[in-house]
Structure formats: C-alpha cells, structure tokens
Amino acid sequence: MLNFVQHRDALFSKMADNTLAVVPSADVLLRNRDADFPFRQSSDFFYLSGFTEDSACLLLQKKQGQCKTILFCQPKVKEMEIWTGYRLGQDAAIDQLQVDEAFAIEELVKQLPDFMGDCEQVYAAWGHSKAWDAKLINAIEQVKLKSRLGIQAPTAMQAIEPLLHELRLFKGEAEIELMAKAASISAHGHIAAMQRVKPGMYEYQLEGTIRQHCAEHGSRFDAYTSIVGSGANACILHYTANDQAIKDGDLILIDAGCELNHYASDITRTFPANGRFNPEQKALYELVLKSQFAAIDAVKPGNHFNSPHEVVLRILTEGLVELGLLSGDVDTLIKEEAFKPFYMHRTSHWLGMDVHDVGAYKQDGNWRKLEPGMVLTIEPGLYIAPDDESVDEKWRGIGIRIEDDVLVTSDGHRVLSHEVPKTVADIEALMAQAS
C-alpha cells in the first residue's frame, strides 16, 4: 500500500525549520462548452495526500521542530454532491488521510497569512501557475501588514521541486509493485493489439483494443495519449491522430501505456500488419533491438543516466554504416551526430507518476549515477523519413521504436514490461497463432 504519511514525513525531514510548504491539487480543465477533460490529480499533491478530489490544497508546516499537515478541501454540500459526486469533507479527511487539521477550501485565502506568520520560507512550485503565485504573494503581503504586531513575514520563496521531486525519483516497494502491475497490464494490451491487427483496420481501433484490455484489468486511464502509427506515420514521433487505415506491408508502431492509481507505464512495440517483417523492416528492427538489449544491460548502479544512450548511439551508428544508410568512420559519425536524421530523440527518461517523471538528470553538471529504486525507459528507435532521398528507396518510410520500463536494482535491473515479445521470431510466432 502506498504510504502517504511516510511521503510527508520524508518531505518534512528535508524542509528547513520554520517553513511552510504549499501544494495545491490539480484544477478541472474545460474541454469544450460545459464538458471537462477527465480530471487527473496533480502528482505532487497525490504523492503527499492520496486525495483524488479537485479544489484542494495541502499545507505542510514545520514550526520549531513540530510538523503539522493541514488539508483544505471542498465541504460536504448535499446539493453539490448530487451534481458532481461524493466529497470526502473535512471530518472524514482527518480520519482517512491522517492529516492533522482540515478546513473548507473557501477558508484558504483567509487562513494562509496565519500559517505563514513567523515562517521564514515558503516552499511551493513557484512559477508553475500565475494564479497560485498571486495567491501566495498576496498572503505574504497580508503577513507584512502585521509587522507591528511583531509577526515576521517569510523572507524567502523556495522551490519545492528539488526536495519533493528527489523523493519521487526513488520508488518504494509499493510504488514499484504498482508500476510493475501497470506495465504488465499494458504489456498484455500490446499483445492483444498484435493479435487483433488486420490490414484494413484503422489505427484508432488498435488504440481501442489496448484501452479496453487495460480497463478490463483495472486501469481507468492511459498514462498519456496512445501513439498508433502505421506505415510512415511511425516516423512522426508524437503522432496521435491515429486515424489512418492500416495497409498490408505496413509496420505499426504502438506507444501506449496505462496508468494505475496515478503510476504510469510506457511501452512501445513495432510489428508488421500482416504478421511478417520484410527484409528491410527486419534489418532495421533487429538493429534497434540489438541496441535496446545492450542499453538495458547498461542499466545498473554505478553507470550514469546517459550510459544507455551512449551504448545505443554506437550500435545504431555501426549498424547504419553496415546497412549502407551512413558511410564513414563510426567515431567521427557519432561525434558529428550523423545519426540525427534517423534517431533524433534520447534513449531514456525517468518514469513514475508522470510518464516523463520528475527528478534531476544531472548533478553538478554531470549525468547522475543510476541508483536502486530509480525507474527509466529504454526506447531506441530508427525513423527513415518517407522523402529522405539520401537513402535507397527501399528504406524510406520505415519507423521503429522499442521501449521498455526498467527498474534499477541493487545488482542491476529488472524490466517491468518484459511480458511483451520483441524478437522478430517471437512477434511473428505470436501473430501467426492469432490468425
């Protein structure tokens, strides 16, 4: 079970004495005229509270060594709950969320100056939201008006991110369990798509296959908008239109991952619509796969965050020379970034509550060392633009990415998304079984 009190205690231990941290919930966002986007809680807020309602704010006060958590949330109002759903309310919040005090959200503006009185610094996500910046600065101004009563106003606005996001970067056991489960559900969603595909289907129908599978297995939302790109659409890195018909002979790139209780998975597989890779597709696919296996092997404590990327660049460049898509000395080609027209993104990002999760990538200007509890993706790819006249025609329009979710362990790594096949033989065997 996620332990939100433990998360708060960890943050308190990083906060200086006589400070206040302010962490608001996410807002409901309008999609179009009276229709909202599905609500997604702020990851920072959920990490510290476990609370899923909007219109809420958490205060963490550390005063003379004493730590106190205060929640502001929507009051229980029957007439409102009939329209917008159940609200926890203040009394139940104290009990269920184990906060020290709870007030109606309407009280926040009035009470913030009191909580800031004699607090030296205010930790918040400054610069993230103009509305919250204004609210906090206004509260500081209110405290200043009380200076003749001997109450000191805060003298420093501190970014909360370096403290909170460093905590979020290291996943605890319950978080790893959730992420492994999310990855497993998504993995089987990818398998379902590989088994269902037929030339003539539309890309969004495979998107639907994965979503249905994930919903059936307990995931309410995707972690991000799925990418289902067939043919040359696979060369568009953030393709989300997903509205084209799949053709015989196409490769299909699916980048999709579900979210489970606010924790993400992020998986990409590329497979042939008709169940068989053609020789050019196979050659490029096996090159990407070779780089991915080697990059995963580079995920271990002691190596730095950029190690897998460096491994990928070398293997892809060597392979592109062997296949005739690049020519020249490999070291020089790497130095001159000759791979860039075919591989223009990085190999990894942190993964956690956010798909591109928080946490610093560098420390003192250097790539940080990998440590147990970090989770990162390994996602090399090759994308040969359909109009790239620098390469033989037979390569054009092929887009490939292979992405897995990898936990750093004390003696190496664990691939959380290992259940989706990725060798040519395994993919072709799986697809042959289905037809």
User: Would you name the residues annotated as active-site residues?
Assistant: 34, 238, 255, 266, 345, 349, 356, 379, 383, 401, 403
* Residue whose tokens read 């708060």: 8
44 binds, among Mn ion, ligand GLY, none (CB under 5 to 8 A by kind): none
Q: Does 259 bind ligand GLY (CB under 6 A)?
A: no
Which of positions 331-370 make contact with ligand GLY (CB under 6 A)? 349, 355
Q: Which C-beta is closer to Mn ion: that of 116 or that of 256?
A: 256
Handedness of CA 365, 366, 372, 377 (dihedral sign): positive
* Beta carbon nearer to ligand GLY, 90 or 226: 226
How many residues contact ligand GLY, by CB under 6 A?
A: 7
Rounded CA separation 258/263 (Å):
8
Q: Nearest Cα to 220, choosing from 231, 211, 208, 230?
A: 211
CB distance 125 to 44 below 8 Å: yes
Of 231, 391, 270, nearest in space to 323 by CA: 391
CB of 2 to Mn ion, least distance (A): 23
Residue closer to ligand GLY, measured from CB, 48 or 400: 400
224 contact choice in ligand GLY, Mn ion, none (CB below 5 to 8 Å, kind-dependent):
ligand GLY
Q: Which residue in the set 357, 379, 404, 405 belongs to the binding site for ligand GLY (CB under 6 A)?
A: 379
In the complex, least distance from residue 292 CB atom to ligand GLY, rounded to whole angstroms: 13
Which of 44, 54, 255, 259 forms a contact with ligand GLY (CB under 6 A)? 255
The residues binding Mn ion (CB under 5 A) are 255, 266, 377, 403
| DSSP letter assigned to residue 254 | E
**Is residue 266 near ligand GLY by the rule CB under 6 A?**
yes
List of residues 6+ apart from 75 with CB closer than 8 A: 87, 89, 90, 104, 105, 106
Smallest distance from ligand GLY to CB 347, Å: 11
Nearer to ligand GLY, 196 or 346 (CB): 346
Q: What tokens were used for 127?
A: 């610069």
Q: How far is the CB of 376 from ligand GLY (least distance, A)?
A: 11
As measured in angstroms, the least distance from the Cβ of 243 to ligand GLY is 19
Tokens matching residue 153? 């106003």
Exposure class string for 12-27: b at 16+ Cβ within 10 A, else e: beebeebbbbbbbbbe
Residue 90's Cα: distance from chain center in Å? 31
Q: Of 266 and 280, which has the nearer Cβ to ligand GLY? A: 266
CA angle 374, 380, 384 (to 5 degrees): 160
Write out the residues near ligand GLY by the rule CB under 6 A. 224, 255, 266, 349, 355, 379, 403
